[in-house]
Structure 1
Amino acid sequence: MSASAAIPAQPRSHPNMVLGMLLLVYIFNFVDRQILAILAAPIQQNLQLSDGQMGLLGGVAFALLYSTLAVPLAALADRTSRSWVITISLVLWSGFTALCGLAQGFWHIFLARLGVGIGEAGGVAPSYALIGDYFPSERRATALSIYSLGIPLGSAIGVLAGGYIAATVDWRLAFFVVGLGGVVIAPLFKLLVKDRPRVPASSVPASPDRATVPDMPGFRATAGLLARKPSFWFLSFGAACSSMLGYGIAFWLPSLLQRSFGFDLVQASQFFGALLLIGGIAGVLGGGWLGDRLGHRDRAFYSWLPGIAFFIGAPLFALGISSSSAWMAFVLFLIPQALAYVWLGPVLSAIQHLVKPAERSTASALFLLINNLIGLGGGIYALGALSEFLVPYYGDEALRYSMLYSLALYGVAALLMGLAGRSLRRDWVEE
């Protein structure tokens, strides 16, 4: 019996179906993350929490286990089933999101957010890898940018729905609704999304129905390979610096709108939700399209394009934050909000190309470990803690100045992305 007969081709999902379902799950992922930001004010009032404690809930409580557990779960996904790991993770993080609605104090909600982080640890890196399996190299940045639409879409839905529910009913109900919604779609996801069979290339002839695997390198081998590639470090720490600012602004902007611009909860949610939808969608899609178009000519553009976006975005964000008019601030925020998302498609695609297909989940998880532990874990807390520190100097405007000072992170991110270009040309793994 031939090798091909011994391992029959299994049915696989249509690439666009896979991408659509992964996008849906990612939307729930960011609804669960961003809903805490718009609910910060009523949660702080009800549970008597400080800005520093809210920064811990939005950052460290989530990022601590989310970042560290992503690595072993990605390795498990590479060796077993990526779709099963995503499905189980979706159920876990959605269930813990619902439990946030039962919190009676800081430690209750802190532990629930830890649980959300545990669940979401298994969602993103295997999703990147599935997209890598289903889409060819020349379309991968675009596909990853479409998947990354889950960030602005999920964030906007979380902000808009969370703000409305909290204002009309109760902040606890908002957690129950979005948490149970994720549990409901989990069986549908598993039904529609199939893993591409990954078998040793030496055993099975090449086939469009299989994602062939030359070998199954261990975690140490993949980590060692990436550690020797300068582009991995530049991309990871550049993205982490930008994420510190991006997550920090995304979490604290609704509070800034209420404190410095006099918005109520619903007005803040509408302002920020519209900003995320218009600016976020334009930036994500534009970054993916430009990344594929320019990166096809020169691999360095996969990092140079994000660097240019960060460099231009910082002063524009400063103008918006400093504005005295809320609606002028909206106009000024639109362009930098779009630029803040440009990096997603190009950088995520570049990370996929630093390793062989069998190692994609693990490589993505190692990138996310650095990006999220520093960016998500540090950014939200750092802006909140800096705001508290600046209160004696700026009073009610302390949060505004905390954001302004933090814009220096975009300058560091732009520099690191610029340095990544040359080494990315050498480190790129062609398929």
Structure 2
Amino acid sequence: MNATQAPGAPATNTGQAFGTRGYRNYVLYSLMILYTMNFIDRILIGVVAQPIIEEFRLQDWQFGLLSGFGFALMYTVMGIPIARLAERMNRVRIIAASVILWSLMTALCGIAGSFLALLVFRIGVGIGEAGLTPAANSIISDYFPPRSRARAIAIYTMGITLGGVLANAFGGPITEMFSWREAFLVLGIPGVIFGLIFLFTVQEPPRGYADPPTASTPVKASISDTIRELSAKRSFWINMAAAALVAFVGYGVSNFQVAFFQRVHEMSISEVTLQIAVPLGLAASFGAFMAGYLTEKLSGRFPNSVAWLPGFMLIASVPLYWIGFTTNNIPFALIVLIGAAILHYSYLGAQYTICQGVASPRSRATAVALFLFVVNLIGYGCGPLALGILSDILMSANLEASQFAGELTSQLCKGKPEDLIASLGAPQARACLTASGEGLRWAMIAMSGIFMLAGALYLYICKTLQQDLVAKMN
């Protein structure tokens, strides 16, 4: 099959899955692979955070700007117009073009000679990645009927955590063996090939095909039409707020996670990525899949399980994160953080299931784009920047409380450990490194407490979810 079907093919609203079971699974897992590559290229900069910070002598807030806001601004701004194209044009072609663009921009990050150049290429990655998720969610809704979407979307969103696993599994060792530049080149270029394969092997489905016959017939809707439709759907906006808070914490913590273990526990980058980040990524992937599986099994008897499952799990993750970040026992920290990751990432499938579940077929891609605009601007744009600012503030406070108060500043303390020892002396260098590690530690602990509020919001969604859904999950 190929992507030649006319984008305006009539929707039949059969309530049945589109295509054979084997082909549906091929499309679904192809989208998951592309989403995995999306997050490999997105997360890689967090994997190589410390080498970049040291090479360009960046403050943590500057790295937060580079890894978060610089990427998220264009990602969110471009998401809505690209989603509008996805409502009218061939979604398969849009996805393929997006994959090729972001993969090329990722590879170019490897040749950046300055902070500004790296920021420009990261903006290019954001523009490319904006084209995947709205169109992918729309395609999944046309391949799978409502009763199967929670599982399908959960499988698709496994790309988030699998991308993190692979970015760490390959990015860390490549960086240690060569440099962070080779990591961008090696992990960026294959995306071009995968984008072309997707273009020539995936069929564009009729819009609304898998929706029940009673569902409304998809027609073109303007952005204002979509907003008016969603304005009465309280569940959509609460879901947006909850997901934004989770992303705010999650992106902030994940972008500095490898740097945290390097600073606080003095581990090498390959030790952190292989011994800590990879197991945590696998745990997060399991959490996303487990929550989707449980939701599908429970939704017949408990229709609101898509909301209350992640609500309770997010709240339960907070004490585990606190323990994991405070202990100095690395194996124990890993065990506790694995549990926290399983609970934390239970929300991934739920956020998309609720988002597209309350929108009509004509508006789903735009609804997802609006959703992602806010979630990513607040989460990805502000999360790493806020954590970096808080880390710098707490680092400065630690320096002021040290025996070198008034002598050392956060700017003087930036650089490679060996350079700090050569320029400042061993005692001052040790004070710098300790302050940097402790500042980041307590910034991450403080941020993780926000999961309590996010979990409470997911529980609150249960009050309005059933009346807002277009197609009931049960």
TM-score per shorter chain, which class?
over 0.9
User: 2:336 aligns to what?
Assistant: 332
**CA drift at 1:149:** 1.1
Match runs of 1:28-39 below 5 Å: 28-39=37-48
Q: Measure the CA separation in 1 of the matches of 2:211 and 2:349.
A: 27
What SS does structure 2 have at the residue aligned with 1:149? helix
Change (3 A) 1:172 1:426: same
- SS of 2:189's partner is helix
**2:319 partner letter:** P
The match for 2:299 among 272, 279, 295 is 295
Deviations 1:19-75 (A, max 9, x none): 011011111100001110111111122222221111011110110011121111111
User: Once superposed, what is the RMSD of the aligned Cα atoms?
Assistant: 2.2
Q: Is the 8 A contact 1:47 1:104 kept in 2?
A: no
1:412 corresponds to:
453
Cross-structure match for 2:469: 428
SS of the aligned residue for 1:148 comes to helix
Structure 1 counterpart of 2:381: 377
User: Cα deviation per residue 1:222-255 (whole Å; 9 max; x = unaligned)?
Assistant: 1221122111111001011011111111111101
Whole-angstrom CA distance in 2 between matches of 1:340 and 1:368: 19
Pair 1:327–1:333, CA change in 2 (3 A): same
Q: In the alignment, what sits opposite 1:240?
A: 244
Q: CA offset at residue 301 of structure 1? A: 2.1
Distance 2:223 2:211 in 1: 27
Q: Deviations over 1:249-271 (max 9, x none)?
A: 11111011000011011101113
- Matched with 1:168 is 177
Deviation at 1:359, TM superposition (A): 1.7
Say if 2:32 and 2:156, in contact at 8 Å, map to a contact too. yes
Aligned to 1:223: 227
1:265 and 2:274 equivalent?
no
Query: 1:129 deviation in Å?
Result: 1.1
Aligned partners of 1:299 and 1:421 also within 8 Å: no
From 65, 69, 79, the counterpart of 1:60 = 69
Residues 283-316 of structure 1: CA deviation (Å, up to 9, x unaligned): 0111101222223334322211111011100111
Write the letter of the residue equivalent to 1:76. L
For 1:262, the aligned partner's letter is: E
Does the 8 Å contact 1:138/1:296 carry over to 2?
A: no
- 2:159 corresponds to: 150
Tell me how far apart the structure 1 counterparts of residues 10 and 124 of structure 2 sit (CA, whole Å). Answer: 39
TM-score, length-normalised on structure 1?
0.93
Q: Percent identity among equivalent residues?
A: 35
DSSP-derived class of the 1:268 partner: helix
Pick the aligned partner of 1:121 from 121, 126, 130. 130
1:90 aligns with 2:123: no
C-alpha distance in 1, partners of 2:32/2:280?
Answer: 16
Cα separation, 1, equivalents of 2:297 and 2:10: 37
**Aligned 8 A contact 1:32 1:179 in 2:** yes
Shift of 1:207: 11
Q: Partners of 2:202 and 2:130 in 1: how far apart?
A: 19
Q: Deviations over 1:371-429 (max 9, x none)?
A: 11111111111111100000133323110000111122111101211211111111011
1:276 is displaced (CA, Å) by 3.0
Deviation at 1:12, TM superposition (A): 5.9
SS in 1 for 2:328: coil
Q: C-alpha displacement at 1:346, in angstroms?
A: 2.2
Q: Residues 291 and 345 of structure 1 are in contact (CA less than 8 Å); yes or no, is this contact kept in structure 2?
A: no
Contact 2:258–2:277, Cα closer than 8 Å, also in 1: no
CA displacement 1:94-131 (0-9 Å, x = unmatched)? 11111111111111111110110000001111111111
Alignment of 1:314-353 (within 5 A): 314-353=318-357
In the other structure, the counterpart of 2:192 is 183
2:89 maps to: 80
Q: Which moved more, 1:285-294 or 1:135-144?
A: 285-294
Aligned pairs (5 A) from 1:42-61:
42-61=51-70
Structure 1 SS opposite 2:358: coil
> What is the number of equivalent residue pairs in this alignment?
419
Identify unmatched segments of 5+ residues in structure 2.
1-7, 12-17, 399-434
Q: Which amino acid aligns with 2:314?
A: F
Q: Distance in 2 between matches of 1:215 and 1:277?
A: 40
The C-alpha deviation readout for 1:304-329, integer Å capped at 9, x for no partner, is 11110111001111000011111110
**Alpha-carbon distance between aligned partners in 2 of 1:385 and 1:12, rounded to the nearest angstrom:** 50
Contact persistence 2:162–2:282 (CA under 8 A): no
- Does the C-alpha gap of structure 1 residues 429 and 262 become closer, same or farther in structure 2, counting only changes over 3 Å? same
Q: CA deviation at 1:212?
A: 8.9
The one-character-per-residue Cα deviations of 1:144-184 (angstroms, maximum 9, x if unpaired) are 11111111111111112111111101211111111111012
Partner of residue 403, structure 2: none
CA–CA distance in structure 1, aligned partners of residues 97 and 19 of structure 2? 20
Which stretch shifts more, 121-130 or 215-224?
215-224
Q: Distance in 2 between matches of 1:58 and 1:7?
A: 40
Q: Which amino acid in the other structure matches residue 103 of structure 2?
A: S
User: Aligned with 1:59: secondary structure?
Assistant: helix
Specify whether residues 33 and 272 from structure 1 end up closer, same or farther in structure 2 by C-alpha distance, changes over 3 A only. farther
Question: Is 2:395 aligned against 1:354?
Answer: no
Structure 2: how far apart are the matches of 1:292 and 1:347? 14
1:165-222: CA deviation from partner (whole Å, max 9, x where unpaired): 11101211111111111012111011111110338x9xxxx999xx994422222111
Aligned pair 1:251/2:255, yes or no?
yes
Partner of 2:423: none
Amino acid aligned to 2:441? R
Tell me the equivalent position of 2:425. none
Counterpart Cα distance in 1 of 2:313 and 2:10: 47
In the other structure, the counterpart of 1:133 is 142
Q: Which residue of 2 aligns with 1:3?
A: none
| TM-score of the pair, normalised by structure 2 | 0.84
